[in-house]
Amino acid sequence: MKNKIYLKVNTDLRASPQVLCWFGQMNQPAIPDQQIWWQCQILMMEGFTNIVEHAHKNLPIETPIKIEAVRLNEYIEIRIWSYGEPFDLEQRLQQTSEFEENEQERGRGLKIMSAIADKLSYEPTGDNRCCLFIRKYY
């Protein structure tokens, strides 16, 4: 089985319901473990939110965010392309406080994603964009 879907939205958190609804197609047929599906939805929304709030924070609302989701027999992959500045994801994760020590309301998204994703990366793509890549096995 292979299912691939695409979405393009503006840099706007108000697009979150649209993103989540669109991503729901990945759960057809339903993933047997409901907790895994919830984690996939969290990964999608944390990734989208991080791009809007951090990578695109100084960019116009019209700046596009392109999203691709692929479901294969054993895992789901999510790719979110942004126009944000590249950064070292591993270094950022090491610099971010653990959940128990992080009393800020912000800054926990990458830790959450790192904890539940099976693979997580943020790499420049060569066309002045970066790609947030997430893989989750089910």
pLDDT (tens digit, 9 = 90+) per residue, 108-135? Answer: 788 899 999 999 999 999 899 999 999 9
Distance (Å, whole) CA 31 – CA 41: 12
Supply the pTM of this predicted model.
Answer: 0.89
What residues contact residue 88 under an 8 Å CB cut-off, 6+ apart?
Answer: none
Between 120 and 87, name the one with better pLDDT: 120
Q: How far from 58 is each of 52, 54, 62, 136, CA to CA, in Å?
A: 9, 8, 12, 30
Q: In Å, how far from its chain's centre is CA 5?
A: 15
Between 125 and 1, name the one with better pLDDT: 125
Per the structure block, which two tokens stand in for 133? Answer: 């890549």
Arithmetic mean of pLDDT, 30-39: 96
Q: What is the pLDDT of residue 85?
A: 81
Does residue 102 carry a pLDDT above 50? no
Arithmetic mean of pLDDT, 39-44: 98
Tell me the torsion sign for CA atoms 94, 108, 112, 30: negative
